[in-house]
Amino acid sequence: MSNNSLLAGKVAVVTGASRGIGEAIAIRYAMEGARVIVSARTLDDGDHVLEGSINSVVKRIQDMGGEAHALRCDLAIEAHRENLIRETEAVFGPVDILVNNAAVTYFVPVEQFKKKHYDLMLEVQVYAPFHLVQLCLPGMIERKSGWILNISSHAAIHPAKDTAGRGGTVYGMCKAALERFTTGLAAEVYEHGIGVNVISPGLVATPGVVYHNLITDNTPKEMITPVEHMAEACLRLVHGDANDITGKITYAVDVLKDYKLEPADLGS
């Protein structure tokens, strides 16, 4: 754990934290003294086709000397979202930092897209972050402090008309909505000292990215962003003066460059 303690005493909730980017963010925050709620659907190793679980991430943090607690949450279920914030407050106290990282994605062309998949993607990637923010905002406004960080994707950028797609239209639409929500919310809560930002990672070799074949043997290495870079950028966007660091639509590479950051080693 770091001696800098940039997040000492802060309570952070990270969704989709059983593996990949969410796991890296949870570990990096814990390294800076945050008490981290590690949340996702996968409770134990072997519960999901992809490797990783919230219990294993919590153990990893605790073995490093950090403080973390696992809370299983299916973000498609309203009661689960409400329980996530309620249990966080019971275990660690009011939420200081909310990271909306979780996603469920289907890469299917529009003409073949099923309504149930469309509804699920919007529920998890758009409405769930909105609802979690609603649950956290009253306390943040009362304390005149807090940070909300939404995780987006380059898929939110409008594609060229002659670009061959891979069925990512609905995914891009969800991320574009999340970005507009971020800037609107940042303006709404600016006077309350709450920072709201959205960041895209670039192409990170997470288990999900590999599973969807978004990285292949032909992908140039320079296009792949190490997960440590994303974690470091996400740390920078949840501390400091919220009136200066808010309303950003940014990217991991730009945050590292702008703030001259060297990514920390997250351990093995």
Could you list the active site residues?
152, 171, 175
Number of helices (H), then strands (E), belonging to the chain: the values are: 9, 7
The b/e string for 92-118 (b: 16+ C-beta within 10 A; e otherwise) is beebbbbbbbbbbbbebeeeebeeeeb
Positions of E strands within the chain: 11-14, 35-40, 67-72, 97-100, 146-151, 194-200, 249-251
User: Which of left, alpha, beta for 220 (phi over 0: left; psi -120 to 50: alpha)?
Assistant: beta
Positions of E strands within 170-226: 194-200
The token pair that represents 130 in the structure block: 């909105």
